[in-house]
Amino acid sequence: MQKFLASALARGLAWQLGGWLVGAGMVTGIRLLMGLSPLGLFFFTEPAWVFGGFLGVLAFVAGSRIVDDWTKWAKGEQIPDHRDDPPGWGKYIGVSLDHKVIGIQYTITSLLLLVVGGSFALVFRTELSRSGMQFLSLQWYNTLMSLHGIGMIIGILLGVAGVMNYLVPMLIGAQDMAFPRLNAFSFWIAVPAVVLLLSSLALGGFDTGWTGYPPLSARGPVGTQMFFLGVFTAGWSSILGGLNLIATTLRLRARGMTAFRMPILVWAALATSLITLTATQLIGLSFQLVVFQRLFGMGFFDPAKGGNPVLFQHLFWFYSHPAVYVFVLPGLGVISELLPVFVRKPLYGYRWIAMSSLGIALVGFLVWAHHMFASGMNSYLQVPFMYSTLLVAVPTGVKFFSWVATVWKGKIDMPTPMLFVLGGIVVFLLGGLSGPPNATVATDLHLTDTYFIVGHFHDTIFGGYVFPFFAAIYYWFPKATGRRMDEKLGKLHFWLMTPSFLTLTLLMMRVGLLGMRRRIADYDPALGFDGYHLLMTIAGYLIALSVAIFLFNLFRSIKRGEKAEGNLWNSRSPEWQVSSPMPAHNFDEPIEVVGEPYDYGLAGSQYTRFVQAAQNKDLHS
Amino acid sequence: MKLPDKASALQQGVIIFVFLAVLTALEFLIAVAIETIALLAVVAVMKVGLVAYYYMHIHKLGEDAGEDRHSVAYRTATSRLGLWLFLLSDSFVFGGLAVARFNLLGFTRPHLSQVLGLAVTSILLLSSFFMNRAEASMAHDDRKGFGIGMVVTLMLGIAFVAGVLGVEWPTAIAEGVSPSASAGGAIFFMMTGMHALHVITGLVLLGIVWRNGSRGLYSADRHWAVEAAAVYWHFVDVVWIFFYPALYLVGRVA
């Protein structure tokens, strides 16, 4: 307990609360002096909550002492290159500079947030199981629906960051990230962001959906502001994390690892990071403009003042469409990374796969307005955006061809990670095939804002992120702990989740085609959707059960899992050539790359070797 | 790599500054005499090219820093890449603001004093010149030149912030361009405010570097902090090279 109270986490949270109250108090005091009403609906007024929330984030940073080294640097003091972590679990709630610890911190935070966001879905899914309002008010329905969306999105972003942080330095044979302190900062800034986001529950909620379109978001309750502020803060985590990954990949690769000898996951991380580094600024800006519109009456999106609500949608989707590629590209990278290991064959079309990640990321910058076909934007924009969107199918198709060709005539091994890889491919295919009808203007005008979109979206994200994420955890868990997760429970998890999930999304698409609107709390019983919705709700609960089994398996295996210290999956990747759990500085002997990464099954081929061992061999020969 | 000697480094700074000043004057005359946006864009891009190459040394990104991961040169090169990636990211905020400005106002501009705009622009441009002098001096171990350059840069930077926040904002409000009156006013305050925030951050960095520099922490071989602060400061200038014509010169008064 004492260890917890003294940790960076506990101190940061306490300071955040303090900073919040001080900031809110300051604004309230100023309002009193100016003769404005000092108190509002939720005790403090909206400006007080917003300024307090902002100050709270700064206070978290100060209280958790994540910037201590930088202040020392500014004072002209010497700072060490490395800091060793204390033994035990304490390092996971303290400031660590080790990318492996930070990766696990990200992953745990992500899982927590995904569980919270997922349970919100269960609550409103229960409400939807029958027509008519059962137990939720309209405002609560909207709030839970909105928070499910943004909670899952931030959760996935943190999960993506976790996977990339943990793996990229290992996969390129580096000791750590290029900027370890910035890496720690990127993780820790996400913690106050999550607190801000969830605080909207207590401040009237927000009923705009995660997209936060004005004019609705310009007049909702104070909770809307907390949502904006939370996402804005979390954005910094994404931006700085992306910066770090790009610099790491470009500067710290092992000797001999040329661009086309990098693991596919590293290519995917690079493509992802290009998006998070640049586009994230635009969602931050768009949210900031709404915050200012609410606080100072600046009429960016207010037609009465000459503003333009559609401008918000352009700025917002410029990030928020590429954001889905941020979710899926690392997942697709995991699929390409694991497939050759379990079919014992070379990855088919390595260069094409590497380039397709970059291709998706770059084309992804040019497709945003396909979310706005029904928004009243200029109609001449519709056709170009339709074609650019359809173009995304080309590099994505390249990936599918490669996966099919890789599996073709392979000797397939089916442990749990491989099940999730194959499940991910199938589900992502469904998501991909249901995409083009939304991209073509004529069909989209019928489908937009229906449950068809909801089904399509969940298919892409489960196939592109959730399944590969689970595969990655089952696969690399031994690398982090030296033990493996239980196979039986893993298989139960998969066989419970996959059919339930397919039932859920296929029914979503079905009711969507029949005219079920998305984001609404109730539907007309005469539409005859009651039975479908009941089935979807049951499927939702089964998914939750399977995730509960996964979490049980995860936490049990940390201490009680079967020992697995060697190269468990018989992989060629550098991180499996050293012991598990990974040594503190990854590779005590530097490695160098001497061959192709995915030449599985080719006799005598080698990907990496230790520089030291190679030199000794040269001496003896 | 052989450094140019100090006199020619300083001379290069002067020549580039003269070019920039002439281009700025030309830009102003173009805007007053003929209403053409294309020419203004060409001039702005030329100015940014000069600043990016000669003052921000963008070419250093391509320099070979050797193979030794632990050497100062290698680590500086990594930090340099990180800084430029950050600037790339940051330019998306300013790009987004510029897009918003043209979306809301089209080819009209808010009712502002063009002379006042030219005045603050000149101050910022001049500060970039002195920043370059300070950095070039440190690169040749001239501590005194560094100190003078930094102090003048800091003072010009403060003058710029005071000019925008203390003079320009009240003047604009008096002319009816206020944050809450219209979307045009709102975007003017948002653009200048976001830019001023970056100038103030730059001033804090310059202050830190000046203090540490005058305590003798940097040398001709190791002054990455000075270079970083300088690049950031010039970046803030680059943003203004686009914002100034976008707010003060483009199109007719709304």
Q: Which amino acid is at A95?
A: V
pLDDT at A4: 84
- Per CB-CB distance under 8 Å, the chain A contacts of B103 are 308, 311, 314
Whether domain A80-620 has CATH 1.10.220.10 = no
Question: Quick one: CA torsion of A244, A245, A247, A253, rounded to 10 degrees?
Answer: 140
- Per CB-CB distance under 8 Å, the chain A contacts of B223 are none
Q: Which helix (H) or strand (E) holds A356?
A: helix A350-364
Tell me how far the alpha carbon of residue A10 is from its chain's centroid.
24
Residue the block writes with tokens 């020992």: A563
Please state the ipTM of this predicted complex.
Answer: 0.95
pTM recorded for the entire structure = 0.95
* Nearest CB to A247 within list B85, B180, B184: B85
Q: Which amino acid is at A264?
A: I
* Nearest CB to A76 within list B77, B78, B217: B217
Per residue in A21-45, pLDDT tens? 999 999 999 999 998 888 888 889 9
| Beta carbons of A305 and B69 less than 8 Å apart | no
3-state secondary structure chain B: CCCCCHHHHHHHHHHHHHHHHHHHHHHHHHHHHCCCHHHHHHHHHHHHHHHHHHHCCHHHHHCCCCCCCCCHHHHHHHHHHHHHHHHHHHHHHHHHHHHHHHHHHCCEECCCCHHHHHHHHHHHHHHHHHHHHHHHHHHCCCHHHHHHHHHHHHHHHHHHHHHHHHHHHHHHHHCCCCCCCCHHHHHHHHHHHHHHHHHHHHHHHHHHHHHHHHCCCCCCCCCHHHHHHHHHHHHHHHHHHHHHHHHHHCCEEC
Give φ, ψ of A109 to 5 degrees. Answer: -60, -40
Per residue in A323-340, pLDDT tens? 999 999 999 999 999 999
Give φ, ψ of A600 to 5 degrees. Answer: -70, 140
Mutate to test the interface with B, among A243, A276, A283 (most CBs of B within 10 A): A243
pLDDT at B34: 81
| Beta carbons of B187 and A300 less than 8 Å apart | yes
Chain B positions with Cβ closer than 8 Å to A: 69, 74, 77-79, 81-82, 85-86, 88-90, 92-93, 96-97, 99-100, 103-104, 179-187, 189-190, 208, 211-212, 215, 217
Q: Which tokens is A295 given?
A: 């606080």
Helix axes A138-171, A180-199, angle to 10 degrees: 170
Mutate to test the interface with B, among A281, A291, A314 (most CBs of B within 10 A): A281
* Nearest CB to A178 within list B82, B182, B212: B82
DSSP secondary structure code for residue A512 in this structure = H
* Nearest CB to A277 within list B88, B103, B189: B88
Per residue in A463-489, pLDDT tens? 999 999 999 999 999 999 999 999 999
Asked if A507 contacts A536 with a C-beta cutoff of 8 angstroms, the reply is yes
Per residue in A344-385, pLDDT tens? 999 999 999 999 999 999 999 999 999 999 988 888 999 999
| Beta carbons of B89 and A278 less than 8 Å apart | yes
Q: Which tokens is A413 given?
A: 């091994």
The radius of gyration computed from the CA coordinates of chain B, to the nearest angstrom, equals: 19
Distance between CA atoms of residues A406 and A440, nearest Å: 31
Question: In whole numbers, what is the pLDDT of chain A averaged over residues?
Answer: 93
| Bond preceding residue A581 cis, omega within 30 of 0 | yes
| Beta carbons of B96 and A286 less than 8 Å apart | yes
Mutate to test the interface with A, among B97, B104, B197 (most CBs of A within 10 A): B104
Residue of B nearest to A235 (CA): B89
Q: Is A515 left (phi over 0), alpha (psi -120 to 50) or beta?
A: left
Chains A and B form CB pairs within 8 A to the count of 102
- Per CB-CB distance under 8 Å, the chain A contacts of B93 are 281-282, 284-285
pLDDT reading at A604 higher than 90: no
Lowest mean pLDDT among A223-232, A438-447, A598-607: A598-607
| Beta carbons of B183 and A302 less than 8 Å apart | yes
Distance between CA atoms of residues B204 and B227, nearest Å: 15
Residue A123 burial by Cβ neighbours in a 10 Å radius (0-12, 13-18, 19+): middle
Residue of A nearest to B90 (CA): A281
| Beta carbons of B208 and A74 less than 8 Å apart | yes
pLDDT reading at A441 higher than 80: yes
Chain A positions with Cβ closer than 8 Å to B: 74, 76, 178-179, 182, 239, 242-244, 246-247, 250-252, 277-282, 284-286, 289, 292-293, 296-300, 302, 305-308, 311, 314-315, 318
* Nearest CB to A298 within list B90, B186, B215: B186
Mutate to test the interface with B, among A246, A291, A298 (most CBs of B within 10 A): A298
Average pLDDT on B177-198 reads: 95
- Per CB-CB distance under 8 Å, the chain A contacts of B190 are 289, 292, 298, 300
Residue the block writes with tokens 């109270």: A5
Distance between CA atoms of residues A604 and B182, nearest Å: 72
Residue of B nearest to A309 (CA): B104
- Per CB-CB distance under 8 Å, the chain A contacts of B69 are 252
Distance between CA atoms of residues A327 and A521, nearest Å: 27
pLDDT at B1: 46
Average pLDDT on B23-46 reads: 89
Mutate to test the interface with A, among B85, B104, B219 (most CBs of A within 10 A): B85
Q: Which tokens is A169 given?
A: 């330095």
* Nearest CB to B92 within list A282, A298, A307: A282
Smallest CA–CA distance, residue A16 to chain B, in Å, is: 23
Whether domain B6-253 has CATH 1.20.120.80 = yes
Q: Which tokens is A351 given?
A: 């260069």
Distance between CA atoms of residues A93 and A71, nearest Å: 22
Question: In whole numbers, what is the pLDDT of chain B averaged over residues?
Answer: 93
Sign of torsion, CA A398 A404 A410 A414? positive
| Beta carbons of B100 and A300 less than 8 Å apart | yes
* Nearest CB to A243 within list B89, B183, B215: B89
- Between A313 and A43, the more confident residue is A313
| Beta carbons of A300 and B190 less than 8 Å apart | yes
Distance between CA atoms of residues A326 and B149, nearest Å: 44
Q: Which residues lie across from B158 on neighbouring strands?
A: none
| Beta carbons of A300 and B89 less than 8 Å apart | no
Q: Which helix (H) or strand (E) holds A44?
A: strand A43-44
pLDDT at B254: 75
Smallest CA–CA distance, residue A272 to chain B, in Å, is: 14
Average pLDDT on B231-244 reads: 97
- Per CB-CB distance under 8 Å, the chain B contacts of A182 are 82
Residue spans of the domains in chain B: they are 6-253
- Per CB-CB distance under 8 Å, the chain B contacts of A179 are 79, 82
Average pLDDT on B129-139 reads: 95
- Per CB-CB distance under 8 Å, the chain B contacts of A308 are 103-104, 183
Residue spans of the domains in chain A: they are 1-79, 80-620
| Beta carbons of B81 and A250 less than 8 Å apart | yes
pLDDT at A589: 86
